[in-house]
């Protein structure tokens, strides 16, 4: 058996199977649904980190079950934010509420404030441009430690920013959390028309929506 047969590779003749579209076009159709990808700091509490399927304390870009490793430091451009309350159900469905005046938002917010892991988070969610990847993403700062860092993110709206992580230690617990610092890199900005459209959609979410969880961010909820 030849090497091509063993690897599953089918050898085509000249002129066969020419790929017309590039990776950027692929990403544009993959990410064109209702939900933007989101960023997550993958700490030791993550299932995929525990299984050694993703590096610890690296940021991940998550969509449709796929995780792109963004590294330990990520240059970002935060643009706007919105309030978001998230509840992860027993069926791994994620209920999101966006109106702080609505009863469902207040219910999730109250549960999220309780001690321990309870499947709920509440905090500011940021719309972010990733200049290196040329992609839009969201970043929910919903854990207690992330909410303490969120004012630093809000101060840097429309400014080049770098996301890192830092080690936090108390008498009872220790963990890694997001850290926001200035960035001096020169950014390639998104197309203005595209940016206006994405911001408009981000600023006008439904009062509630439900989607399937990629992975509950359990370890960050209580910290």
**86-128 tens-digit pLDDT:** 998 877 688 999 999 999 999 999 999 998 778 899 999 999 9
**52-96 tens-digit pLDDT:** 999 999 999 998 878 999 999 999 999 999 999 999 887 768 899
pLDDT at 108 (0 to 100): 96
Asked if residue 211 is part of any domain, the answer here is yes
The rounded radius of gyration (Å) of the Cα atoms in the chain is 20
Distance, in Å, from the CA atom of 112 to the CA atom of 90, rounded to the nearest integer, reads 16
pLDDT at 4 (0 to 100): 46
Asked if residue 5 is part of any domain, the answer here is no
Let me know: does 213 contact 93? Beta carbons within 8 Å.
yes
Tokens at 111, concatenated: 């549960």
Average pLDDT over residues 184-198: 90
Asked if residue 8 is part of any domain, the answer here is no
Q: How many CB atoms lie within 10 A of CB 34?
A: 8
The upper half-sphere exposure of residue 1, i.e. CA atoms within 13 Å in the direction of its Cβ, equals 7
Asked whether residue 210 carries a pLDDT value surpassing 90, the answer given is no
Cα dihedral 207, 99, 87, 77 sign: positive
Give the chain's end-to-end CA distance (angstroms, integer). 56
In whole numbers, what is the pLDDT of the chain averaged over residues?
Answer: 84
Q: Which range has the worst mean pLDDT, 53-62, 72-81, 139-148, 165-174?
A: 165-174
The whole domain housing 186 covers 19-221
Q: How far is CA 78 from CA 127, 134, 181, 213, 215, in A?
A: 6, 14, 12, 24, 24
pLDDT at 29 (0 to 100): 52
Q: How far is CA 205 from CA 111, 137, 160, in A?
A: 22, 15, 25
Secondary structure (3-state) at 130? strand
Q: How far is CA 156 from CA 20, 36, 57, 128, in A?
A: 39, 21, 22, 11
State the DSSP string of 135-146.
EEEEEE--SHHH
Asked if residue 97 is part of any domain, the answer here is yes
Quote the pTM value: 0.80
Asked if residue 14 is part of any domain, the answer here is no
CA torsion, ordered 141, 145, 151, 152, to nearest 10 deg: -100
Asked whether residue 11 carries a pLDDT value surpassing 70, the answer given is no
Distance, in Å, from the CA atom of 208 to the CA atom of 86, rounded to the nearest integer, reads 10
At 212, is the pLDDT very low, low, confident or very high (cuts 50, 70, 90)? low
Asked if residue 68 is part of any domain, the answer here is yes
pLDDT at 32 (0 to 100): 44
Q: Which DSSP state fits 141?
A: -
Residues 6+ apart with CB under 8 A from 83: 98, 99, 100, 105, 122, 123, 124, 125
**pLDDT higher for 210 or 152?**
152
Number of domains in the chain: 1
Asked if residue 180 is part of any domain, the answer here is yes
pLDDT at 56 (0 to 100): 93
Angle at 206 between CA 223 and CA 106, to 5 degrees: 45
Asked if residue 3 is part of any domain, the answer here is no
């Amino acid at each position: 058996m030849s090497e091509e047969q063993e690897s599953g590779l089918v050898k085509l003749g000249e002129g066969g199977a020419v790929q017309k579209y590039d990776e950027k076009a692929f990403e544009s159709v993959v990410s064109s649904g209702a939900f933007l990808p989101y960023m997550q700091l993958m700490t030791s509490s993550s299932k995929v980190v525990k299984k050694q399927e993703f590096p610890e304390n690296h940021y991940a870009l998550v969509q449709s079950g796929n995780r792109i490793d963004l590294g330990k430091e990520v240059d970002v451009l935060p643009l706007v934010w919105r309030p978001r309350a998230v509840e992860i159900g027993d069926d791994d469905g994620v209920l999101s509420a966006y109106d702080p005046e609505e009863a469902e938002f207040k219910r999730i917010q109250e549960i999220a404030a309780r001690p321990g892991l309870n499947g709920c988070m509440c905090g500011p969610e940021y719309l972010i441009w990733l200049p290196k990847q040329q992609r839009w993403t969201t970043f929910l700062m919903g854990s207690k430690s992330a909410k303490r860092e969120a004012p630093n993110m809000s101060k840097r709206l429309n400014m080049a920013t770098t996301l890192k992580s830092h080690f936090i230690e108390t008498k009872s617990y220790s963990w890694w959390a997001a850290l926001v610092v200035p960035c001096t890199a020169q950014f390639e900005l998104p197309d203005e028309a595209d940016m206006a459209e994405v911001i408009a959609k981000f600023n006008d979410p439904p009062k509630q929506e439900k989607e399937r969880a990629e992975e509950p961010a359990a370890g960050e909820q209580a910290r």
